[in-house]
Structure 1
Amino acid sequence: MNPHLTRIKLAILSAAVMVFTCKIASSTNNLHPVILVPGSGGNQLEARLTAEYKSSSLLCSRWYPLKKDPDGWFRLWFDPTVLFKPFTKCFNERMMIYYDPDVDDYHNAPGVETRALFWLHSGPSLS
Structure 2
Amino acid sequence: MKKLITVLCGIIIGLSLFVSIGNTAKAAECGCDVTPVLGAEKNKIVANLLSSYEFKNVKHLLKSEGYSYRGAKNIEVLINHSDYDTVMVGVPFYNEDGTIEMAAFFNGIYMGHGSNED
The structure richer in helix per residue is 2
What TM-score do the two structures reach when normalised by structure 2? 0.26
From the CA coordinates, give the structure whose radius of gyration is larger.
Answer: 1
* TM-score normalised by length of structure 1: 0.25
Relative contact order: is structure 1 or structure 2 higher (C-alpha 8 Å, sep ≥ 6)?
Answer: 1
